[in-house]
Amino acid sequence: MDKFELIINNTDSFMDNASQSLDSELRKINLPEGKIEEIVTSRTRRVVCDKILGIFKVGELISTFINWNDDIDNEIREAKKEGLLLEYFNRCNKNESSVLELKTFLSNPQGNTLFNKILRILDDTPPDINLMAHLAEALKFIINSDFVSMFEEHKYALALIEQLTPQALTILADHHSWPDFPLTSSTSIAGKISSDWLDAFIGPYVRGRNISESRLIERIRNSMNELISKRLVQAIRLAGNRAKVQLTDMGSSLLRYVSKAG
């Protein structure tokens, strides 16, 4: 497994290996005997109150942590960028035209700004394959559009994507699997259900996806609630005390960015 695969698919293992290298660096900066008391007394006692800090040169300790964190952060950021572009090229069949389109996009002020916005969304989350897939789809959609004239629209969509968890984006992209569901008691306005319908929907949805683990069900509930709170979805009344969830206009617009089947 190369470093990219290790970081993306086994982040915990990568961080464990990295922490061992940090331990090795920390062992190199033990203070000579007789200097410990000097450090403690030369600073406020609350600065170096932990016994572990007391055996290190404080300046070198801080520098070691900062340098180690910078190195790990850079490696993870590069791996996420690589994952994003691999996902993008997979969607474009890795042909020559997709390379030229990406080059044109990055060379354009508006395109470069949008690309960096996508990278910032990646930077703010741990490595996540689903998020990379959604952002690669967004990148492809934006590149294939008139991204100069649609700059503000794309920027708004990316800002909305940034507010959603990867799980919420996945459920949005899975809209074709949303089932009808029974709703015996509800209030509605012009056919749109205004009372709480979330729990009534979650049961049929998770059963249809063969999901029974309570932890996953709760995550799905929270993710769907994100979509509701952002007004990306709504429930409408059907005949026979049944209802269904559908995308709002804003939800339909966002779907184009995160799902090729949108």
Query: What pLDDT digit, counting tens, does each position of 22-39 carry?
Result: 555 545 544 444 444 444
**Of 98, 170, 92, the residue nearest 131 (C-alpha):** 170
Q: Which residue bears the tokens 């590149």?
A: 143
- SS3 category, 217: helix
**Range with the lowest mean pLDDT among 1-5, 71-75, 79-83, 237-241?**
1-5
174-219: per-residue pLDDT in tens? 999 999 998 877 676 767 888 889 999 999 999 999 999 999 999 9
pLDDT band, very low/low/confident/very high, at 91 (cuts 50, 70, 90): confident
For 21-35, 52-66, 98-112, 172-186, which range has the lowest pLDDT when averaged over its residues?
A: 21-35
Angle at 127 between CA 122 and CA 129, to 5 degrees: 95
Its pTM stands at 0.74
Q: Could you count the other beta carbons within 10 Å of the beta carbon of residue 167?
A: 18
Strand 192-193, strand 188-189: pairing: antiparallel
Spatial contact of 150 and 217, defined as CB atoms under 8 Å apart: no
Kindly compute the dihedral angle of the four CA atoms of residues 118, 119, 120, 121, in this order, to the nearest 10 degrees.
50
